[in-house]
Structure 1
Amino acid sequence: MATDMFRPLADRLRPRRLADFVGQRHLLAPGRPLFEAVDNGRLHSMILWGPPGTGKTTLARMIAEVANAEFIPLSAVLSNIKEIRSAIEAAKDLLAQERRTILFVDEVHRFNKSQQDAFLPHIEEGTIYFIGATTENPSFALNNALLSRARVYVLKTLQTEDLQQLIERALETPEGFGELTVEIPENIRRWFIDAADGDARRLLNFLEIAVDLARDDKNRAVISEELAKDMLAGGSVRRFDKQGDAFYDQISALHKSIRGSAPDASLYWLCRMLDGGCDPLYIARRLVRIASEDIGNADPRALQLSLDAWESQERLGSPEGELALAQAAAYMACAPKSNAVYRAFQAAQRDAAATGSVEVPIHLRNAPTKLMRELGYGKCYRYAHDEPEGYAAGENYFPDGLNPKPYYHPVGRGLEIKIAEKLKRLKALDDAQKTGKS
C-alpha cells in the first residue's frame, strides 16, 4: 500500500465497478445500452468523446476489466508505427489463446488519416476491440471509415454533485486519504470544485497538492483558506481551445444570442470567451460579420459601431478595449434585425457564378476614349440625376438576355421599413414607364 501511495490520487481512485463510476448517468444508468453491454461483458468498438477529466480512460479500463479482456493503451501523441504494430501482434497472440483485447487510443484525433485507417482491418477481423478517446468532435477529427465501425458515446462535463461525491471518496476510502485525518471546510471544497470546471482529474490534483502541503507528522492535514487561496492564485483555466469544439460552440452561442436579440446572454458568452483566453480581435472581427449578416440595413449604425469597437480594442488593448466589444455586442443584440442583404448577396453570388462571363450591356460601359464612343459605349445611357425624382424609370442594369431578379427584400424592421417604401415607389415608377410605352 505504501508503494501505491506514490501513484497520483486520480489514478488510485479509478473505479473498478460501474456502481463506483462518477457522473455519466445518461450512459451508465441501469437499462442504458452502454451500461448493459459493459455489465454483461459484451464488447464493441467505440469512440468516447468528451471534455478532459470526464472519465474516458477510466471507462475504457473498466470495460476491459469487467469483460476480462486485455487492455493495451496507446497515446496518439506519443506512439509511433512500431508501437502500433507491436500492439496488434500482441492482440493476435492473445486471440490465439481465446482472449479478447481492447486497444485503447487516447487523443485518437491526433492520428492522421492513414494511421486511423491502419486499425480498420484489425477491427473488422475481430483482432481487437477499438476504443478511442477524443476531446474533439469525431465528425471532423475522425475518418468516416473508422466512425462507421465504432459507436460514438458523448461524455458530459461533471456536475457539482459529481465532484462533491469525488471529494468524499478521496477523503474516505483507503485508496485516497482514508488513513489520514483531513479537514477541509465546505467553502474551500466549493473553491476547488469551481476551479476544477467540471474536470475530475483537475479537482483531484488540487486536493492532492493541498493535502500534501498541509500534512503534518501526525497524519493530519488541515487545509486553510490561506493555503487554498495560494494554490488557486493563478486562476483556473477554462475549457477553451482555439482549435477545438469549445471555441466554435461558444462563438456560435455568442452569434446566436446577438441574432436572437438577447443582450444579457450575448454579454455572458462574450465574457466566457474572454475568460477562456480568446483573442479579443477575433471576437471583434466576428462582431463586424454579425453586424452585416444579421442586422444589415435595418440599423447600419451597427456596422460602424462594430468597426469602432475593433479599432478601440486595437488602440487600447486588454482589458480597456474589451468594454468597447461589450458595448457593441449589447447594442447589436438590441438592434432591429435583418438578413435581407445577406440573403440577397448569397442569391446574387449563385447567379453570378452560374451566368459566367456575360458581357456588360453597351449602354452601361464607360467611354473615356474616342474609339469607345465610336463603338457605342455609353450610348443611350440615362443619367439618373437628370431624370424626374432622380430615377431613370424602366432602365435595365442587368446583362442583356438575363431576366432582372429581385434579390433584396427589405424586412419590416428598423430602417428597412423606409427602404422598402422607397423600393415600392421606384417599382411603381417602373410599372408606369412600362404602361406608358405599351
Structure 2
Amino acid sequence: MQNETIAVHGGYNKKEGYGSMAVPIAQTTAYAFRDSEHAANLFALKELGPIYTRLTNPTTDVLEQRFAQLEGGAAAICVASGQSAIFYAIANVAEAGDNILISDKLYGGAVTLLTHTIKRFGITAKVFRSEDASDLEEQIDDKTKAIFFESLSNPQIAIADVEKIAEIGQRNGVITICDNTVASAALFNPIKWGIDVVVHSTSKYTNGQGTAIGGIIVERDGLAEFFKENSARYAHFTEPDESYHGLVYTDVPLPNFCLRIRLALLRDIGAAQSPHNSWLLLQTIETLALRVDKHSDNTLEIAKFLESHDKVKSVNYPGLESNPGYAKAQKYFKDGKASGLISFEVESYEDAKKVIDSAKLFSVVVNIGDSKSLIVHPASTTHSQMNAQELAEAGINPTTVRLSIGLENPIDLIADLNEALN
C-alpha cells in the first residue's frame, strides 16, 4: 500500500471487536488475564498480549504498527516524547565507557541530552559533519555504538548525506539512528536508504495541531542478524539478559531493537505514551501527507519572498534552487519538497527581536509542525543551553530567526512578515 492509504488503514482491523470505524481508546492501566497460566505465559513471552500500559496498550499498538508501515520498518515502539525516543534509542545500544557520534547540526535539546546529560551515564559524544560525512569514519572506534543525525536539521534546515552515513555505518558495523521529525514520514523514509533506526517527535508534524506529546522509534528488518554479525559491539543483544531470566534477544523471533526497549527500558524507566495521546495521533496521522504537502508549498512561497527582501541577509530552505541542499532535497524527499521549517538571517539581534515581536499571525512558540505558523529566536530559546562556540559551530547566530510555516494562506503570512521586517 501507498503511505496515504497506510496512514488511514494501517495496523487496524475494523471488523474486530464492535467494528468501530475509529480506533477505540484503551484508556486503562492494566489488563485482566484469563488465569494464572495466561499471566505467566505473557511474562515469559510464550504468548503475546497486553500486560500493563507502561509496556503495551491496544490503542498504542495500532499506532506503532501504522507508523512502522509508514517508515518501511519492521516494528515501532511509542514513548512519552521525542526526547525520550532519542534517549531510549541511544541507551538501548550504549553503556558506560562507550561513545556515540552525533551530527554537528541537531536540535538544541538533543545536543544537551547527548553531550551533557548522557555523559553522566559514562557515554561520550563526538561530533561529525553530517552534510557530507567527511570526518565520520575516522572517528569510529571499537567503543562506538551509534551514529545519530537528523535527516533535515532544526533550525539550520540542512540535509544530511544519508546514503553515505548509512554506508559507513554498515561497513563498520555501527547502528545508524536518524531523527526524521522535520522531514516527516510523508516526505522521507530513511530505512529505505539503509538507515537502521528512525526516531520522531510525534508532537510535531505527526500531530500537526500542538495537542499531544509523543515520540516513536522504528527499526528496520534484519537487525537481529546485524547484532549477531557484530556481537562483540552489541553483546547485550546476543548474550543472556540476567534481568529477564537469561533471555537472549536475538533468539526471539521478534524485531530485536524495539523488543529490548520494551522489556528493559520501558519496563525500568517507564517513559510510556498515554493511550489518549496515541488516539489523538491516530486521528492526525490520517492527514499527514496532505498537511506536509501544504506546509511545504506554503514554505517555498515564503522562502522565495524572504530571499528577495532587502532586510533579509540569507535564507535557509533546501526547496530553493539557490540553496546548497537543493540537490539532496530532490534526491531524498518526495517530489523534492522540503517540509515546513525555514530559518533566515537579518542584520542584527535587535532586528531579529523586532521581527519576532512585530509579527501578528506568527505566534512566538518553540514547537514546530503546527497548523498555525510559529516564529522563534533559536539562540535564546531552543538552543539557549549551548555556549557561543557551540552555537557558532552549529550555524546558529544571534541574527537567526526560525519559522514553522502553518496551513494559513501564504498571501496573509507574507503580508505579515513584510510588515514585521519593515
Structure with the largest fraction of helix: 1
- State the structure with bigger RCO (CA 8 A, min sep 6), 1 or 2: 2
Specify the structure having the higher radius of gyration (Cα).
Answer: 1
TM-score, length-scaled by structure 1: 0.23
TM-score, length-scaled by structure 2: 0.23
Structure with the largest fraction of strand: 2
